[in-house]
Chains A and B, each alone.
Chain A
């Protein structure tokens, strides 16, 4: 078990090093950051002086090694665009992204699971068909379009909800939360729905497929034969047995949500890490881009690890197999 975790952590370091290296090679293709830093009137000497002072005159692998040497000491440098420490900037933006991702995941579970159960049980119902059609929209429409449509309906025409920003936030120590104010909660609704829609439909379709599978099994038939209530059968027995893959997929999708948040955050000017990253690309803000990419790589690796461990904990067969193997060896 420990060996397994240690091995995965070592892989994580390798993944992050690779991501960092690929990122640095790609930074050559986004243009010269100095062009964004100085006005068009700046002379060639001015540009060169600033380039040297930022260390941008050196080849990319030298910049990469220097970045690594600093990163090991916890130094990620200063953002070219904002003039602030990258770690400070990311720490300021992370709560926004995580709250958005958390809300989106919550929405997708709260809506996706019941709809999945319903469409799984009432296979030929009219409502089921409606839900399935709706889920097709969720899967096929791109995020930015959904976001714009929601803004058009709920902000421009109905004027119910704000179209951008995060509203008022409350600082709880270093964590700034939008959960505690009215404007914060209102601002959260549209982006969370936009971000969560794809996951909702995915979870709904997954639960439905699993339910169809489970409903055919013998133990459900026996349960019916015993005269258990429909509720007890559907939720107590059937749903419970569909949840293992659902948990796995949801866990893995959290990483996807963080990545998809880039688009949602741009549409709603949500001040999270995704918006920061996109603006860093436009501005060729190398320190922010490298730190963000490595952080996201770390998150993906950690989520994968957590899911693996969860799987290990939930599915008794995995443990049993191991025990059997060990038993033979002894």
Chain B
């Protein structure tokens, strides 16, 4: 008896060792540096996390890779009055557990996204109320006219009211005492459903066979497996353990491009990296100029601009993986203009003359605040800026630190405790007004929260306020261009570049679309 049990055990062990795991047909395995933070659609407003949730959950509208907004759970919409958006909902849609989707779920999700701990409510702040008209019609009543509401609703994900109530997760929560059901499990209407989630190890999705749309992918299974270490992530791609990964570290781009079976997809990101000056204080906090603020003089700001050789930074620091920019917003964002995006030429001698004119023939000293783990080569860019400004006589003391501390220092938490800083910004709404409101104005309530140099110009402020409520897209765009032009001529900030996205893709992938916001929409992935 004893012996047979032993034999059985040995047999089982041998079986476990020998029988290989069945290789799935059309399994797409991909990786990035960090895990998604959680599945709750109404907290954790972070790019890659939102992208993952967007495969499982859907909003009333969806944003295509070319940034166009198309119907999703809503089939059509209109604006019968300036403050009312009416959405007709898609009929016959079911959540992954089979419960039908109705207007009640939209009303419920609106209440939920406004929960106390939510940080996704930023996408619906202009909405006062969501009213159910009938089972498949809802009205969004806005606080004032909101011309771009539908742009924001792409990240307003709809949850099942019944499922949330059943699992006692009717509010997004985080905190030291509570555990959130919706953060570990998911129940949406989207083209994929969550099968398994082991934090930091893998998130497994399978296609939703009952999805209302026609799938544009050909996947049977998706495995998302985060790998924090850059070198390991590259190795896993080379060895064929994963089909796709991002970001590719800049130094590995040439090597991967030369490897058979692997290609590198590059493209500009939507984030614009820039430097900014303190233009509010009468004396700079971190400078040897006393009694006045040199950055209040447009000639000084212009001199800084002209002293920066962006092509050299692109070549040496970014190894070609950047697009120098003259605007604070990237191509693809509403309000971008190619003509305005041209940079003023690099001219160090001219810059020096400007400084003399402004009364600083000997230059001056200033501290540059810089993050060292946020953007691609952020600290290296700042290090390159130091000698460029030294050429025009400005001594820059570099103060680089980890992102959390950096953002505290230059942000509202420490009352914009900086004289000269680096920051990067992607308008979350893909609309230039977001950049105007966050970075380039101070006056309107809630604006200027990332305007760390407190740049302000009454003309730009006026335009921003008008743009916010203008419903005619053409007029809106014209005003946006005007505001961008004034800011550019003011040298309100020093736009540097958009860093390049670099994705490593194996030849097992037939088709994948690189969205400029650096995440993967599984709807558009095809394997060979």
Contacts and interface: CB of A to CB of B under 8 A. Distances in A.
Contacts of A164: 225, 227, 232-233, 235-236, 241
A269 B174 contact: no
Q: Please indicate which of the listed interface residues B201, B240, B450 has the most CB atoms of chain A within 10 Å of its own CB.
A: B201
Nearest to A150: B235
Given A42-B122, A156-B239, A165 B438 contact: no
Interface stretch (A107-115, A175-183, A237-245): A175-183
Interface in B72-106: none
A304 interface: no
A162 B241 CA distance: 7
B49 to A, nearest CB: 10
- The DSSP consensus for interface residues of chain B is loop
Nearest to B427: A41
Contacts of A44: 412, 449
A126 to B, nearest CB: 35
Contact of B119 (A42, A55, A70): A42
A118 B21 CA distance: 41
A198 to B, nearest CB: 19
B58 interface: no
Given A83-B179, A164-B227, A269-B228, A182 B18 contact: yes
A151 B232 contact: yes
Q: Please indicate which of the listed interface residues A83, A180, A278, A284 has the most CB atoms of chain B within 10 Å of its own CB.
A: A83
Contact of A155 (B173, B239, B438): B239
B38 interface: yes
Given A78-B177, A181-B16, A268 B232 contact: yes
A30 B404 contact: yes
A37 B226 contact: no
A38 interface: yes
B6 interface: no
B128 interface: no
Nearest to B426: A40
Given A39-B46, A43-B122, A53-B116, A275 B228 contact: yes
Contacts of A170: 16
A279 interface: yes
A199 interface: no
Q: Please indicate which of the listed interface residues A35, A163, A268 has the most CB atoms of chain B within 10 Å of its own CB.
A: A163
B434 interface: yes
Contacts of A39: 45-46, 119-120, 122, 428
A251 interface: no
A81 interface: yes
A267 interface: yes
Given A49-B116, A53-B117, A269-B227, A31 B178 contact: no
Nearest to A284: B404
B200 A279 contact: yes
B146 interface: no
A287 to B, nearest CB: 6
Given A41-B428, A54-B176, A83-B40, A35 B232 contact: no
Given A84-B199, A267-B232, A159 B177 contact: no
B235 A38 contact: no
Given A42-B122, A77-B176, A83-B38, A36 B404 contact: yes
Contacts of A29: 405
A84 B197 CA distance: 13
B229 interface: yes
Interface in B416-434: 425-426, 428, 434
Given A39-B119, A83-B184, A55 B176 contact: yes
Interface of B: 13, 16-21, 34-35, 37-38, 40, 44-46, 116-117, 119-122, 173-180, 183-184, 198-202, 225-229, 231-233, 235-236, 238-241, 402-405, 407-408, 412-413, 425-426, 428, 434, 438, 446, 449-450
The 8 closest A-B pairs by CB, nearest first: A31-B404, A39-B45, A83-B183, A77-B176, A38-B119, A155-B239, A41-B122, A271-B201
19 contacts: A35-B407, A43-B122, A47-B413, A49-B116, A50-B117, A53-B175, A82-B37, A83-B38, A83-B184, A84-B179, A84-B184, A155-B241, A156-B235, A166-B201, A180-B13, A182-B19, A269-B232, A279-B35, A279-B228
Given A40-B450, A77-B177, A278-B228, 14 more contacts: A30-B405, A31-B403, A31-B405, A39-B428, A41-B45, A46-B122, A83-B174, A151-B232, A159-B239, A163-B236, A168-B21, A181-B16, A182-B19, A269-B226
Interface of A: 29-33, 35-44, 46-47, 49-50, 53-55, 70, 75, 77-78, 80-85, 89, 147-148, 151-152, 155-156, 159, 162-166, 168, 170, 180-183, 185, 266-269, 271, 275-276, 278-279, 284, 287
